[in-house]
């Protein structure tokens, strides 16, 4: 939701980033204020997922120019774990399986690590068990998932729920959901979306990176951005997503090119 | 190995004999057959030499360092307080045999004599068990682990005066695991632990073979030499779970032979974990002597510094309808060196054999080294056999995933390394031992590479 005079959480200016010498993000500008829900849409290869990974600090991507301020501090100077502790969260498109590590242990480890860094109280296994089971109800997750290895053998939907569960535990200021809707059936999508909506407050913000409008029926964005060739070429309200759904992306691209070619 | 440092056969032969010479005088065994067995082994010790890297079976493992160190048998038993040994006890185990520097320690053990007990299960040292159970022991002791061409098995057999003996009578299922605990306490001592596990038809038992050290603090950095032989015999339909933990000191030498004989439709489950020793070698040979037997051999070697851990396994499908599963993992840090040689033999006529083998290795540093040699030899036509080996570093996507959840790069790497090993530890069906080893692996991986 858009609030008057809310704080700027994320300010991206002129961001350029490349992977293996290939430039993917080209002069990207993007601002998020607290309380807001943003959707970044675009075709495959437009740079959406790269943008999400660059924000989270993926080592394969090199930032070649531009700046990113997160709550006023230089995000690009922070290591991935420092970004997480500062309140940035990335829900992965393809969550990683970690055989041999119990999900419950892993969740407690990450929770306590982040709590400690934030100067808050850590929970012992029993306290944490109560706490996490409560959060799991929100996502209609079976507590059996605590005893299994992290994401191992989870279905696509289960992995995504586990991502949102981590988000619920870590309470980020800014959550980036990378293709969270992909691989979900409609029931799972509804549950995940409900969980995300429950976690939205006026002090945090969400950025959904998505290919399809479907998710936006359940998590209603304040802003919809269209990405193409590594930059945002159009920004609108939630109606833009519906328009993209019916008309496709070509018209946005054409409009953008026309605007760019107008002589000054 | 350069020739300058190589042991010549003559020196190596003398070395083995010198170990024998250090043997304390003992009362002569009244059993002629045991005496004959030892004499035969002594003869082999005289004829054999220590293997070198020129021997195919020892290509990757240079044991010349062992030959440069002199060892003698413990002359007297070290007295250990129960309180010192208690941390090694496994709470689930109700019977326990403890050997200190190779010498049976009755005051620390909880045996089961067999005859007086309801079930007839024997958990005893050999000298105590012999009188009542010689008929059961004689056909098997020294009959499954060949020593004709193995210098170490020969040396162990030449020293064979006592042993840990487990006999499970027909159709008896032993609920609690049996703990065989071997404690090294003295430097420059050679011990020759010996185990015999006889699971009679339809019986079931879990045996933990556990090698630990309890050095005096000032001997912490000193070497001892363990040369173990274990024989496990499964009669028809018997079920044995064999957990082996090698957590010797960082300067120790540990060489072990284990021979397993599988009867018809028997089931042998083995998890072996190698954490300690400067140099360790484990030969595990499993023979399918009858139809329809099943075995699973899982192993983990977690080593760093200058350690060397070598596992040589051989699963011999000599009979049809056998199943074998093997997952062996190595985590190698520092400039350590792991060796895996896994042979699966499917003999002519062993139709419908189903054998799967996998070896996965994690190298944590540029200097860490692994030699892996899966060997599949198939002489039957109607079989299902697969094998594979992988060598790799930690996956950077996995590291990033954990970092994005707030863990430092180092913590993420430690957790992933731990998880790699935990997959094997998880297969140990004894909760307290599993927990203990998970803790050890967690601590060791936290200090790697």
Backbone CA torsion sign across A115, A121, A125, A126: negative
DSSP letter for B78, please: P
Which pLDDT score is estimated for B114? 67
Per-residue pLDDT, averaged over A48-77, amounts to: 96
Inform me whether the C-beta atom of residue B57 falls under 8 Å from chain A C-beta atoms.
Answer: no
| Average pLDDT of chain B, as a whole number | 91
Per-residue pLDDT, averaged over A212-227, amounts to: 94
**Does residue A244 lie in a domain region?**
yes
CA B185 to chain centre: 19
For chain A, the domain total comes to 1
Residue B222's pLDDT band, with cuts at 50, 70 and 90, is: confident
Percent of chain B scoring above 90 in pLDDT = 76
Distance CA B332, CA B334 (A): 7
Neighboring chain B residues of A81 at a CB cutoff of 8 Å: 403-404, 406-409, 412
Nearest to A84 among B405, B418, B420 (CB): B405
CA B57 to chain centre: 17
Q: Do B426 and A100 touch (CB under 8 A)?
A: yes
Inform me whether the C-beta atom of residue B438 falls under 8 Å from chain A C-beta atoms.
Answer: no
Lowest-pLDDT range, A172-176, B119-123, B253-257? Answer: B119-123
Taking one residue from A and the other from B, the number of pairs with CB-CB distance under 8 angstroms is: 74
Residue B349's pLDDT band, with cuts at 50, 70 and 90, is: very high
| CATH value at residue A191 | 3.40.50.300
**Tokens representing residue B105 in the block:** 């320690």
Rg value, chain A, Cα: 19
For chain B, the domain total comes to 1
* Residue B88, domain extent: 9-290
Q: What is the pLDDT of residues A242-254, one digit of tens each?
A: 999 899 899 999 9
Lowest-pLDDT range, A211-225, B242-256, B432-446? Answer: B432-446
**Does residue A87 lie in a domain region?**
yes
**Does residue B230 lie in a domain region?**
yes
CA distance B362 to chain A (A): 14
Per-residue pLDDT, averaged over B46-58, amounts to: 92
**Does residue B218 lie in a domain region?**
yes
In the predicted model, is pLDDT for residue B193 greater than 50? yes
| Average pLDDT of chain A, as a whole number | 93
**Does residue A120 lie in a domain region?**
no
Strands A61-70 and A73-74: antiparallel
Which pLDDT score is estimated for A264? 56
**Does residue B366 lie in a domain region?**
no
Contact between residue B226 and residue B182 where contact means Cβ atoms under 8 Å apart = yes
In the predicted model, is pLDDT for residue B8 greater than 60? no
Which pLDDT score is estimated for B24? 61
Neighboring chain A residues of B414 at a CB cutoff of 8 Å: none
Inform me whether the C-beta atom of residue B411 falls under 8 Å from chain A C-beta atoms.
Answer: yes
Which pLDDT score is estimated for A53? 96
In the predicted model, is pLDDT for residue A84 greater than 90? yes
**Does residue B151 lie in a domain region?**
yes
**Does residue A109 lie in a domain region?**
no
**Does residue A166 lie in a domain region?**
no
Which pLDDT score is estimated for B117? 63
Distance CA B435, CA A146 (A): 18
In the predicted model, is pLDDT for residue A220 greater than 60? yes
Per-residue pLDDT, averaged over B63-78, amounts to: 84
Residue B13's pLDDT band, with cuts at 50, 70 and 90, is: low
Residue B23's pLDDT band, with cuts at 50, 70 and 90, is: low
Q: Do A96 and B404 touch (CB under 8 A)?
A: no
Which pLDDT score is estimated for B250? 87
Q: Which of B42, B63, B43 is nearest to B52 (CA)?
A: B63
Inform me whether the C-beta atom of residue B400 falls under 8 Å from chain A C-beta atoms.
Answer: yes
Lowest-pLDDT range, A21-30, B66-75, B439-448? Answer: B439-448
Complex prediction ipTM: 0.95
Per-residue pLDDT, averaged over B395-403, amounts to: 93
In the predicted model, is pLDDT for residue B10 greater than 60? no
Q: What is the pLDDT of residues B82-111, one digit of tens each?
A: 999 999 999 999 999 999 999 999 999 999
* Residue A208, domain extent: 8-96+172-261
Which pLDDT score is estimated for B2? 39
- Residues of A within an 8 Å Cβ radius of B: 56-60, 79-81, 83-85, 89-90, 92, 95-96, 98-101, 106, 109-110, 113-114, 117, 149, 166, 170
CB atoms within 10 A of CB B317: 32
Which pLDDT score is estimated for B449? 57
């Amino acid at each position: 939701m858009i609030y008057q005079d809310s704080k700027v959480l994320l300010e991206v200016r002129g961001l350029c980033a490349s992977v293996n010498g290939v430039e993917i993000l080209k002069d990207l500008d993007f601002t998020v204020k607290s309380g807001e829900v943003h959707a970044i849409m675009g075709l495959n290869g437009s740079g959406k997922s790269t943008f999400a990974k660059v924000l989270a600090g993926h080592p394969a991507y090199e930032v070649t120019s531009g700046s990113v301020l997160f709550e006023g501090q230089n995000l690009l100077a922070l290591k991935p774990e420092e970004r997480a502790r500062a309140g940035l969260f990335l829900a992965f498109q393809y969550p990683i399986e970690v055989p041999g590590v119990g999900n419950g242990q892993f969740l407690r480890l990450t929770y306590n690590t982040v709590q400690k860094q934030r100067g808050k109280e850590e929970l012992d296994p029993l306290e944490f068990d109560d706490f996490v089971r409560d959060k799991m109800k929100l996502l209609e997750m079976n507590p059996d998932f605590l005893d299994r290895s992290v994401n191992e053998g989870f279905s696509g939907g289960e992995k995504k729920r586990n991502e949102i569960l981590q988000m619920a535990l870590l309470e980020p200021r800014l959550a980036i959901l990378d293709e969270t809707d992909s691989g979900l059936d409609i029931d799972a999508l509804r549950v995940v979306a409900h969980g995300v909506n429950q976690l939205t407050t006026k002090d945090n913000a969400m950025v959904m990176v998505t290919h399809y409008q479907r998710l936006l029926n359940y998590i209603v964005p304040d802003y919809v951005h269209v990405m193409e060739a590594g930059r945002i070429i159009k920004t609108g309200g939630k109606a833009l997503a519906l328009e993209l759904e019916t008309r496709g992306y070509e018209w946005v691209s054409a409009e953008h090119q026309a605007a760019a070619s107008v002589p000054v | 190995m350069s020739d300058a440092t190589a042991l010549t056969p003559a020196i190596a032969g003398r070395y083995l004999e010198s170990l024998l010479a250090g043997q304390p005088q003992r009362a002569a065994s009244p059993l002629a057959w045991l005496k004959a067995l030892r004499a035969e082994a002594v003869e082999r010790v005289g004829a054999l030499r220590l293997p070198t890297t020129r021997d195919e079976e020892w290509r990757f493992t240079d044991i010349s360092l062992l030959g440069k160190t002199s060892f003698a048998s413990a002359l007297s038993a070290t007295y250990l307080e129960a309180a010192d040994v208690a941390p090694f006890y496994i709470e689930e185990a109700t019977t326990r045999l403890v050997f200190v520097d190779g010498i049976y320690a009755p005051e620390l053990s909880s045996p089961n004599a067999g005859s007086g007990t309801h079930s007839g299960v024997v958990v005893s040292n050999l000298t105590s068990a012999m009188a009542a159970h010689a008929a059961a022991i004689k056909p098997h002791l020294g009959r499954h682990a060949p020593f004709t061409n193995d210098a170490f098995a020969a040396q162990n057999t030449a020293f064979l005066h006592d042993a840990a003996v487990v006999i499970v009578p027909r159709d008896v299922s032993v609920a609690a695991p049996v703990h065989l605990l071997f404690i090294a306490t003295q430097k420059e001592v050679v011990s020759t632990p010996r185990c015999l596990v006889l699971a009679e038809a339809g019986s079931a038992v879990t045996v933990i073979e556990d090698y630990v050290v309890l050095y005096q603090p000032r001997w912490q950095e000193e070497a001892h030499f363990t040369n173990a032989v274990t024989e496990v015999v499964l009669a028809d339909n018997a079920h044995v779970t064999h957990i082996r933990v090698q957590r010797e000191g960082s300067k120790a030498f540990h060489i072990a032979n284990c021979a397993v004989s599988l009867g018809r439709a028997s089931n042998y489950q083995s998890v072996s974990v190698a954490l300690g020793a400067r140099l360790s070698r484990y030969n595990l040979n499993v023979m399918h002597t009858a139809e329809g037997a099943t075995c699973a051999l899982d192993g983990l070697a977690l080593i760093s510094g200058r350690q060397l851990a070598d596992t040589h396994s051989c699963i011999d499908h000599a009979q049809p309808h056998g199943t074998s599963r093997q997952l062996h993992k190595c985590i190698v840090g520092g400039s350590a060196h792991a060796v895996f040689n896994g042979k699966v033999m499917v003999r002519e006529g062993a139709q419908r054999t189903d054998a799967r083998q996998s070896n996965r290795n994690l190298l944590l540093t540029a200097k860490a080294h692994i030699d892996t040699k899966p060997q599949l030899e198939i002489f039957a036509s109607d079989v299902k056999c697969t094998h594979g080996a992988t060598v790799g570093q930690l996956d950077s996507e996995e590291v990033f995933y954990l970092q994005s959840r707030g863990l430092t790069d180092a913590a993420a790497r430690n957790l992933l390394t731990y998880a790699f090993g935990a997959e094997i530890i998880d297969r140990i069906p004894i909760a307290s031992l599993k927990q203990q080893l998970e803790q050890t692996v967690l601590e060791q991986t936290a200090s790697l590479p």
